[in-house]
């Protein structure tokens, strides 16, 4: 996936502020943060979006959320709460078509989201 920016970041061919990585998951800071904490958690496997997942990806999705929760705890977000968001499709705001979880925290959030 040489044209996919998140595949390139996961392979360390494009720089990013990586805050966590293991054999399946990489997390790095968003370059255009929408909250004081804005971290992206991505699978190393290239999946375009939630639309493309199958049953074999279920454990991987669990790991993405586990990493989001772990980072939220480490970053001190638990007392005020935080969001873990997966935009799916351009109509929902997805602009990078490699599945990712946004971890957002450090400010108040409204509901419903815009």
Q: Which of 43, 32, 41, 38 is nearest to 104 (CA)?
A: 38
Which of 2, 3, 23, 31 binds ligand 5GP (CB under 6 A)? It is: 31
Query: Which residue has tokens 């061919």?
Result: 13
Q: Judged by CB under 6 A, how many residues of this single chain contact ligand 5GP? A: 12
Contact between residue 104 and residue 38 where contact means Cβ atoms under 8 Å apart: yes
Span near ligand 5GP by CB under 6 A; candidates 27-35, 50-58, 62-70, 74-82: 27-35
67's contact among Zn ion, ligand 5GP, none, with CB below 5 to 8 A by partner kind, is none
C-beta separation of 62 from 111 below 8 A: no
Minimum Å distance from CB 1 to Zn ion?
4
Q: What angle do CA 60, 68, 36 make, to 5 degrees?
A: 150
Minimal distance in Å, beta carbon 44 to Zn ion?
A: 9
- Residues found near ligand 5GP in the complex (CB under 6 A): 5, 16, 28, 30-32, 40, 87, 93-96
């Amino acid at each position: 996936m040489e044209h996919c920016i998140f595949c390139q970041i996961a392979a360390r061919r494009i720089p990013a502020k990586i805050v966590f990585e293991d054999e399946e998951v990489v997390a790095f800071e968003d370059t255009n943060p929408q909250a004081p904490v804005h971290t992206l958690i991505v699978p190393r496997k290239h999946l375009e979006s939630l639309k493309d997942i199958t049953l074999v990806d279920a454990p991987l999705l669990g790991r993405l959320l586990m990493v989001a929760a772990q980072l939220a705890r480490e970053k001190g977000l638990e007392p005020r709460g935080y969001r873990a968001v997966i935009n799916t499709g351009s109509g929902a705001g997805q602009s990078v078509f490699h599945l990712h979880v946004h971890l957002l925290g450090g400010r108040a959030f409204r509901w419903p989201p815009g």
